Amino acid sequence: MKINIVGAGISGLATAQAILARNPAADISLFEAGQRTGGKVWTETSAGGYLCEGGVNGFLDKVPETLELCRETGLSPLAADSSASKRYVFSRDELHKLPEKPPEFFKSQLLSVRGRLRVILETVAPGTNIDDESLAQFAARRLGREASERLIDPMASGVFAGDSEQLSLKSCFPRIHEVEAEFGSLIRGLIKLQARAKRAGNKNTPGPGPGGTLTSFRGGMGELTDRLTGLLGQRIRLASQVKAIDRDGSRYLLHMHDGAIEESDTLVLAAPAHAQAGMLANMDGELAGLLGEIPYPALSVVCFGYRQNRVGRVLDGFGFLVPSEEQRAVLGTIVDSNVFPGRAPEGSVLLRSMVGGARAPELALLDDEQLTERTMSDLQDILGLKADPDFVRIFRHVHAIPQYIIGHAARLEAMNEQLQRHPGLVLTGNAFKGVSLNDCIVNARLTAGILVPETHDGESD
C-alpha cells in the first residue's frame, strides 16, 4: 500500500514516524511545498547566540504520546525553569501576577473585590441552553464579566491568538465544557474530580490550569522536527507543491506544480486547512468549502535581544499577557531567557512578543520598521524598557493559528460526512481537534493506528 502525506510540519512528520513505527516497511512519501520542514515549529539561532522560536515554544509534558516520540527519536526533553510558573497579566497600566493558589487569588488586585466575589459565586451561576457558546459568553456567565475580560480574554489570545467573543468553548476547551455539563459548576467539578483522583491513588490530581510542565529541548523545538526529518530522509520531498487532487478509481492522484502526477492508495493531508481546501477544490468542492471556512489570522513573532546591563532584570518568570480592553499591539510577551537555558548569550535577555492575531491581524503585516516601533512602544510602557534592542528578529505568519470559532464542531461533523465518500483520504493537522503540538502528535498516532496495523517479525497482523 502506497501512502502519500502532504505537509511536512509536525503533523505530517509525526504521522509518517508513527506509521513507520508500526510497519518499518511502509511505502511513504511526504510532499512539502516549502523549502524547510517543521511548519510552525521554526527555530533559529543568530550569529550572536540568540535562540529564537518563530512558532511553537514548547509542550506540556503530561501527554504520553509526545514523550514516547521523544524516546523513539532519542531526544532528551528539557523542562522549563521553575520560575516559568510565574505569569502576569497587564491590566490598568500595571502588571499583575496570576494567582497560583486560592489564597493568592483573594489577595490579587487583578480583579476588584466585587470581581473576586463574583468568581466565588460560580458554584451557583446559571446554566445555558446554547449548544455552541463563545468562550466570552461562557466566562461572563460563570465567572463574571470582569474575570472574562481580564483572565479568559488574555488566555484566548495566549493560546489561539484569538478573540474570546468568537472562539467556541466546546471546540477550544472541550474538557471545561464537559465538566460544566457533568457537575453543573467548574469549582464543584474540580473538587469532586480531585477527590476522585485521590481515592484512585492518582498523584496527578486535576487543577484549574492545564497541568504538566512546559518542556522543550536544549536546541529548541526545532530539534524534534529536525530529528524526524533526518529519520525520514529521502521520503521527504521539499519544494513539492500540490496543485490539485483527483481520483482514479480507488487511487488518489496528486497533480504537482511541476506537472508530475503522484499516485497512492492512501492520502493523508497534513497541510493547513486553507491549503487543503485549495488542493481539494476540483475533487470535492463541498469539502473544500468547509475547510476554507476555518480562519487563520495573521500573527507576527517579534524577538528582541538586550544586554542585561542596559535593561536590568526586566521581569521575573515566564512573561505576560494583555487583555484586549487595553488596546495594545502586543498580545503577550515571553521572557525566553528566563524560561529555558541557552536562549540568549551570557549577560543578555531575550524577549519574544506576539502581535496581531484575530484582534488585529493587520498589525502583524506592518513592515519591519513599523512593527518594531509598535512593539518597542508597548514594551516601554509595560516593562519600562527604554533602551533600543541589540538584536531584532521578526517571524511573520500570514496564516498563523487556526481559529475554532462558533460552529466549528458542526463543521467537523459535515466534513466527516463528506469524507465517507473518499475512503483512504485522511485530514489531519491542528485545524480540527487541538492546536497544540501535543494534540498534533496524539492525532498523528491515531491516524497511524487506523491506517496501518502493527507488524511483528516483519509480518502484518
Residues 240-264, mean pLDDT to the nearest whole number: 97
In the block, cell 517479525 appears at 457
* pLDDT tens track for 25-62: 999 999 999 999 999 999 999 999 999 999 999 999 99
One-letter amino acid of 286 = E
- Residue 458 has what pLDDT? 46
- The pLDDT of residue 459 is 47
Long-range contacts, 202-209 (Cβ 8 Å, 24+)? 204/62
- The cell 512593527 sits on which residue? 371
Confidence at residue 41, expressed as pLDDT on a 0 to 100 scale? 97
Residues 6+ apart with CB under 8 A from 355: 299, 300, 301, 302, 329, 330, 331, 363, 364, 371, 374, 375
Q: Rounded to an integer, what distance in angstroms lies between the CA atom of residue 341 and that of residue 83?
A: 12
- Alpha-carbon distance of 157 to 168, in angstroms, equals 13
DSSP code of 116?
Answer: H
Q: At what angle do helices 153-160 and 135-143 cross, to 10 degrees?
A: 150
- Which residue bears the cell 526586566? 314
> 10 Å Cβ neighbour count for 191?
14
Q: How far apart are CA 383 and CA 335, in angstroms?
A: 11
- Residue 124 burial by Cβ neighbours in a 10 Å radius (0-12, 13-18, 19+): exposed
Catalogue the E-assigned strands of 318-380.
Answer: 319-321, 330-335, 348-356
**Long-range pairs for 91-98: beta carbons < 8 A, 24 or more residues apart:** 91/150, 91/323, 91/325, 91/326, 93/381, 95/315, 95/320, 95/382, 97/317, 98/151
Give the pLDDT confidence score for residue 461 in this predicted structure: 44
pLDDT computed for residue 198 by the predictor: 84
Mean residue pLDDT of the chain comes to: 95
Res 188: pLDDT:
92
- Closest among 398, 432, 299 to 355, alpha carbons compared: 299
Cβ count within 10 A of residue 106: 14
pLDDT in tens, 132-164: 999 999 999 999 999 999 999 999 999 999 999
Q: How many residues does the chain have?
A: 461
> Kind of pairing, strands 348-356 and 87-91?
unpaired
* The pLDDT value given to residue 199: 86
Please state the rounded mean pLDDT for residues 422-427.
Answer: 97
Share of the chain above pLDDT 70, in %: 97
- Least confident window among 260-269, 310-319, 426-435, 446-455: 446-455
pLDDT tens, residue by residue, 88-121: 999 999 999 999 888 898 899 999 999 999 999 9
State yes or no: pLDDT of 460 exceeds 60: no
Residue range 244-256: average pLDDT?
97
Mean pLDDT over 185-193 rounds to 91
For residues 174 and 166, what is the distance between their CA atoms, to the nearest angstrom? 15
The tens digit of pLDDT for each residue in 204-229 reads: 666 666 788 999 999 999 999 999 99
Whether the Cβ atoms of residue 246 and residue 282 lie closer than 8 Å to each other: yes
Q: How many whole angstroms separate alpha carbon 300 and alpha carbon 319?
A: 17
Q: What is the rounded distance in angstroms from the CA atom of residue 97 to the CA atom of residue 247?
A: 56
Rounded mean pLDDT, 12-35 = 97
The DSSP bridge partners found for residue 335 are: 351
From the centroid of its chain, how far is CA 67? Answer: 17
pTM, 2 dp: 0.94
Q: Does position 127 have pLDDT exceeding 50, yes or no?
A: yes
| 8 Å CB contact between 22 and 448 | yes
Greatest Cα pair distance, the chain, in angstroms, is 67
Whole-angstrom distance, CA of residue 148 vs CA of residue 143: 7
- What is the rounded CA–CA span in Å between residue 354 and residue 346? 24
DSSP 3-state assignment of 326? helix
Contact 11, 444 (CB under 8 A): yes
CB 95 within 8 A of CB 315: yes
Whether the pLDDT of residue 10 is over 50: the answer is: yes
| Grid coordinates belonging to 428 | 489531519
- In this predicted structure, the answer to whether residue 454 has a pLDDT above a threshold of 70 is no
Q: Where are the beta strands (DSSP E) in 275-347?
A: 299-307, 319-321, 330-335
Task: Map out the domains of the chain with their CATH numbers.
Answer: 2-39+222-295+404-460 (3.50.50.60), 81-102+297-400 (3.90.660.20), 111-199 (1.10.3110.10)
Looking at residues 428-447, what average pLDDT do you find? 97
- d(CA 22, CA 5) in angstroms, rounded, equals 16
Of the pLDDT bands very low, low, confident and very high (cuts 50, 70, 90), residue 387 is very high
